Amino acid sequence: MTKQIEDYTWVQCDNVDCQKWRQILNSVAQELSDESQWYCYMNSDTPYNSCSKPEEDYTAYDKLAKKLGFKYVMSQLTEGVLVWAKMHGYCRWPGIVTKDPITEYCMDVDFEGNPTHYHIEYLGKNHCHAWIAATNITLYGHKEEKSPDV
């Protein structure tokens, strides 16, 4: 099981209707760049090489990783991702996850490593930015996205 932690990397399918997490060999992951897209069909692990197949159970790996001193942050949102973000008192508005100019972080996490807030730069004539609760952010173009006027 320790070998699973050391030799594998978790990746997320880029299909907006899937977005399941899969494990791939580190050697395969190293060939991917920030601009690369990765899809389930690219997985060499047959039980998990299709979007129609269930997501891998990562809880056992997560527990072992914690015992070994590793910490996984499970987040769909990385720097540069386009989102709908809602600030209290305003309608949802498109924005981009960016690094805060002061802290130089793009997300804040709780003690377990779960994202609680993201730094969002809103799009428009006057770009403004704010820390928005993770619960008030939706991935732009995602299948669960509601109408933008909500």
Q: What is the pLDDT of residues 16-74, one digit of tens each?
A: 888 898 999 999 999 988 778 999 999 999 999 999 999 988 777 778 887 887 766 66
The pLDDT of residue 134 is: 93
Closest CA to 32 of 20, 45, 14: 14
| Contact of 137 with 144, CB cutoff 8 Å | no
The pLDDT of residue 125 is: 85
The pLDDT of residue 149 is: 46
The pLDDT of residue 148 is: 46
pLDDT at position 136 over 80: yes
pLDDT greater at residue 110 or residue 66: 110
pLDDT greater at residue 149 or residue 69: 69
Phi, psi of 60 (to 5 degrees): -65, -40
**One-letter amino acid identity for 55?**
E
The pLDDT of residue 143 is: 55
Beta-bridged to residue 82, according to DSSP, are 96
Closest CA to 128 of 67, 64, 85, 73: 85
Instruction: State whether residue 120 is helix, strand or coil.
Output: strand
pLDDT greater at residue 69 or residue 138: 138
| Contact of 121 with 137, CB cutoff 8 Å | no
Which domains does the chain possess?
A: 2-67 (3.30.40.100), 82-139 (2.30.30.140)
Percent of the chain topping pLDDT 90:
45
The pLDDT of residue 145 is: 54
pLDDT at position 130 over 50: yes
